[in-house]
Structure 1
Protein backbone atom coordinates (compact mmCIF):
# COMPACT_ATOMS: atom_id res chain seq x y z
CA UNK A 1 0.00 0.00 0.00
CA UNK A 2 1.31 3.44 -0.95
CA UNK A 3 1.90 6.11 1.60
CA UNK A 4 2.69 9.77 1.32
CA UNK A 5 6.33 10.80 1.33
CA UNK A 6 8.54 13.73 0.45
CA UNK A 7 10.35 12.92 -2.75
CA UNK A 8 13.10 14.49 -4.83
CA UNK A 9 12.97 14.46 -8.60
CA UNK A 10 16.12 14.51 -10.73
CA UNK A 11 16.37 14.86 -14.48
CA UNK A 12 18.98 13.24 -16.66
CA UNK A 13 21.69 15.45 -18.11
CA UNK A 14 22.08 12.93 -20.94
CA UNK A 15 18.56 11.80 -21.89
CA UNK A 16 15.83 14.34 -22.52
CA UNK A 17 12.66 13.83 -20.42
CA UNK A 18 14.11 11.00 -18.30
CA UNK A 19 13.59 11.46 -14.56
CA UNK A 20 14.44 9.71 -11.29
CA UNK A 21 12.07 9.93 -8.33
CA UNK A 22 13.61 9.12 -4.91
CA UNK A 23 12.82 9.56 -1.24
CA UNK A 24 14.25 12.94 -0.25
CA UNK A 25 15.86 11.55 2.93
CA UNK A 26 17.87 8.91 1.09
CA UNK A 27 18.55 10.86 -2.06
CA UNK A 28 20.24 8.87 -4.81
CA UNK A 29 21.94 6.35 -2.48
CA UNK A 30 19.62 3.45 -3.45
CA UNK A 31 19.87 4.06 -7.19
CA UNK A 32 22.16 1.44 -8.80
CA UNK A 33 25.49 2.81 -10.01
CA UNK A 34 24.90 1.41 -13.52
CA UNK A 35 21.63 3.36 -13.77
CA UNK A 36 23.28 6.57 -12.59
CA UNK A 37 26.01 6.07 -15.17
CA UNK A 38 23.47 5.48 -17.95
CA UNK A 39 21.51 8.48 -16.67
CA UNK A 40 24.54 10.63 -17.53
CA UNK A 41 24.55 12.80 -14.43
CA UNK A 42 21.62 14.20 -12.51
CA UNK A 43 20.18 17.65 -12.05
CA UNK A 44 17.84 18.25 -9.10
CA UNK A 45 14.48 19.50 -10.35
CA UNK A 46 12.28 19.74 -7.25
CA UNK A 47 11.15 18.29 -3.95
CA UNK A 48 7.49 17.64 -3.27
CA UNK A 49 5.04 15.82 -1.04
CA UNK A 50 3.69 12.91 -3.06
CA UNK A 51 0.47 11.18 -2.05
CA UNK A 52 -1.47 8.44 -3.85
CA UNK A 53 -4.13 11.02 -4.71
CA UNK A 54 -1.76 13.53 -6.30
CA UNK A 55 -1.90 13.70 -10.08
CA UNK A 56 1.39 13.60 -11.97
CA UNK A 57 1.73 14.57 -15.62
CA UNK A 58 2.98 11.24 -16.99
CA UNK A 59 3.21 8.84 -14.07
CA UNK A 60 0.81 7.13 -11.69
CA UNK A 61 1.60 8.45 -8.22
CA UNK A 62 0.75 5.08 -6.61
CA UNK A 63 3.23 3.28 -8.87
CA UNK A 64 5.90 5.90 -8.12
CA UNK A 65 5.36 5.55 -4.37
CA UNK A 66 5.37 1.74 -4.56
CA UNK A 67 8.60 1.68 -6.59
CA UNK A 68 10.32 4.04 -4.18
CA UNK A 69 9.19 1.89 -1.23
CA UNK A 70 10.28 -1.39 -2.88
CA UNK A 71 13.46 -0.49 -4.75
CA UNK A 72 14.38 2.98 -3.52
CA UNK A 73 13.65 4.83 -6.77
CA UNK A 74 11.28 5.20 -9.71
CA UNK A 75 12.59 5.77 -13.24
CA UNK A 76 10.43 7.78 -15.65
CA UNK A 77 11.38 7.05 -19.23
CA UNK A 78 10.98 9.60 -22.01
CA UNK A 79 7.75 9.33 -24.00
CA UNK A 80 7.87 7.47 -27.26
CA UNK A 81 8.31 9.82 -30.20
CA UNK A 82 4.81 8.92 -31.39
CA UNK A 83 3.43 10.42 -28.17
CA UNK A 84 4.93 13.81 -29.06
CA UNK A 85 3.11 13.73 -32.37
CA UNK A 86 -0.20 12.65 -30.84
CA UNK A 87 -0.20 15.72 -28.58
CA UNK A 88 0.42 18.28 -31.32
CA UNK A 89 -2.55 20.34 -32.43
CA UNK A 90 -4.03 19.14 -35.71
CA UNK A 91 -3.19 22.39 -37.50
CA UNK A 92 0.52 21.87 -36.77
CA UNK A 93 0.37 18.31 -38.03
CA UNK A 94 -1.10 19.57 -41.35
CA UNK A 95 1.49 22.34 -41.88
CA UNK A 96 3.70 20.13 -44.08
CA UNK A 97 0.83 18.77 -46.16
CA UNK A 98 1.04 19.75 -49.85
CA UNK A 99 -1.45 22.38 -50.92
Structure 2
Protein backbone atom coordinates (compact mmCIF):
# COMPACT_ATOMS: atom_id res chain seq x y z
CA UNK A 1 0.00 0.00 0.00
CA UNK A 2 1.29 3.44 -0.92
CA UNK A 3 0.31 6.46 1.14
CA UNK A 4 0.99 10.16 1.29
CA UNK A 5 1.69 11.88 4.60
CA UNK A 6 0.76 15.47 5.40
CA UNK A 7 1.38 17.57 8.49
CA UNK A 8 -1.08 19.90 10.19
CA UNK A 9 -0.76 23.66 10.22
CA UNK A 10 -2.60 23.86 13.54
CA UNK A 11 -0.91 21.27 15.72
CA UNK A 12 2.74 20.28 15.81
CA UNK A 13 3.38 16.60 15.19
CA UNK A 14 -0.15 15.86 13.93
CA UNK A 15 0.02 13.91 10.67
CA UNK A 16 -2.54 12.68 8.17
CA UNK A 17 -1.90 9.45 6.23
CA UNK A 18 -4.06 8.88 3.13
CA UNK A 19 -3.84 6.48 0.20
CA UNK A 20 -1.56 8.01 -2.41
CA UNK A 21 -3.53 9.20 -5.43
CA UNK A 22 -2.73 7.70 -8.81
CA UNK A 23 -0.80 9.81 -11.31
CA UNK A 24 -3.98 10.86 -13.14
CA UNK A 25 -5.73 11.84 -9.87
CA UNK A 26 -2.78 13.65 -8.26
CA UNK A 27 -3.49 17.06 -9.76
CA UNK A 28 -6.01 18.90 -7.61
CA UNK A 29 -6.01 16.11 -4.98
CA UNK A 30 -7.19 17.40 -1.58
CA UNK A 31 -6.23 15.00 1.23
CA UNK A 32 -8.54 16.80 3.66
CA UNK A 33 -11.55 15.43 1.79
CA UNK A 34 -10.83 12.07 3.47
CA UNK A 35 -11.51 13.63 6.88
CA UNK A 36 -14.90 14.32 8.48
CA UNK A 37 -15.65 18.05 8.68
CA UNK A 38 -14.83 18.52 12.42
CA UNK A 39 -11.39 16.94 11.86
CA UNK A 40 -10.77 19.14 8.80
CA UNK A 41 -11.27 22.24 10.90
CA UNK A 42 -9.00 20.91 13.65
CA UNK A 43 -6.28 19.87 11.19
CA UNK A 44 -5.96 23.17 9.34
CA UNK A 45 -3.94 23.46 6.14
CA UNK A 46 -2.02 20.45 4.92
CA UNK A 47 1.67 20.45 4.08
CA UNK A 48 2.98 17.49 2.12
CA UNK A 49 5.68 15.57 3.99
CA UNK A 50 6.37 12.43 1.93
CA UNK A 51 5.08 9.40 0.08
CA UNK A 52 5.66 6.06 1.77
CA UNK A 53 5.14 2.40 0.96
CA UNK A 54 3.44 0.60 3.83
CA UNK A 55 3.75 -3.16 4.38
CA UNK A 56 3.60 -5.48 7.39
CA UNK A 57 7.38 -5.53 7.91
CA UNK A 58 7.81 -1.75 7.83
CA UNK A 59 8.50 -0.05 11.15
CA UNK A 60 7.05 3.38 11.87
CA UNK A 61 8.38 5.59 14.66
CA UNK A 62 5.22 6.15 16.70
CA UNK A 63 2.45 3.93 15.38
CA UNK A 64 1.85 0.34 14.37
CA UNK A 65 1.99 0.04 10.58
CA UNK A 66 -0.82 -2.56 10.54
CA UNK A 67 -3.08 -0.16 12.41
CA UNK A 68 -2.27 2.61 9.89
CA UNK A 69 -2.95 0.33 6.92
CA UNK A 70 -6.23 -0.93 8.41
CA UNK A 71 -7.40 2.61 9.15
CA UNK A 72 -6.63 3.81 5.61
CA UNK A 73 -8.49 0.83 4.13
CA UNK A 74 -11.56 1.12 6.38
CA UNK A 75 -11.84 4.88 7.02
CA UNK A 76 -9.86 6.34 4.13
CA UNK A 77 -7.29 7.97 6.43
CA UNK A 78 -5.17 7.60 9.55
CA UNK A 79 -4.66 10.56 11.85
CA UNK A 80 -1.47 10.47 13.93
CA UNK A 81 -1.91 12.62 17.01
CA UNK A 82 0.98 14.41 18.73
CA UNK A 83 2.63 12.41 21.50
CA UNK A 84 1.49 13.30 24.98
CA UNK A 85 3.77 13.98 27.89
CA UNK A 86 6.64 15.60 26.03
CA UNK A 87 5.99 19.01 27.53
CA UNK A 88 4.72 19.50 31.05
CA UNK A 89 2.49 22.61 31.05
CA UNK A 90 2.88 22.84 34.84
CA UNK A 91 6.67 22.73 34.82
CA UNK A 92 8.53 25.60 36.46
CA UNK A 93 10.04 27.96 33.88
CA UNK A 94 13.85 28.08 33.72
CA UNK A 95 15.36 30.75 35.95
CA UNK A 96 16.26 33.15 33.12
CA UNK A 97 12.74 33.16 31.66
CA UNK A 98 10.61 33.95 34.68
CA UNK A 99 8.64 37.13 34.37
CA UNK A 100 9.54 37.57 30.72
Q: What is the TM-score normalised by the length of structure 2? A: 0.73
User: Following superposition, which runs of at least 4 residues in structure 1 exceed 6 angstroms of deviation?
Assistant: none
Distance (Å, rounded) in 2 between the aligned partners of 1:24 and 1:35: 20
In the TM superposition, residue 33 of structure 1 has moved relative to its aligned partner by 2.5
Equivalent residues, number: 80
* 1:54 equivalent in alignment to 2:52: no
Unaligned runs of 5+ in 1: 86-95
| Partner of residue 10 from structure 1, selected from 3, 6, 22 | 6
Task: State the partner residue of 1:79.
Answer: 83
Q: Map residues 13-28 of structure 1 onto 2, 5 A cutoff.
A: 13-25=9-21, 28=31
Structure 1's 66 and 30: CA in aligned 2 closer, same or farther, altered over 3 A? same
Unaligned runs of 5+ in 2: 22-28, 88-94, 96-100
CA RMSD of aligned residues (A): 1.8
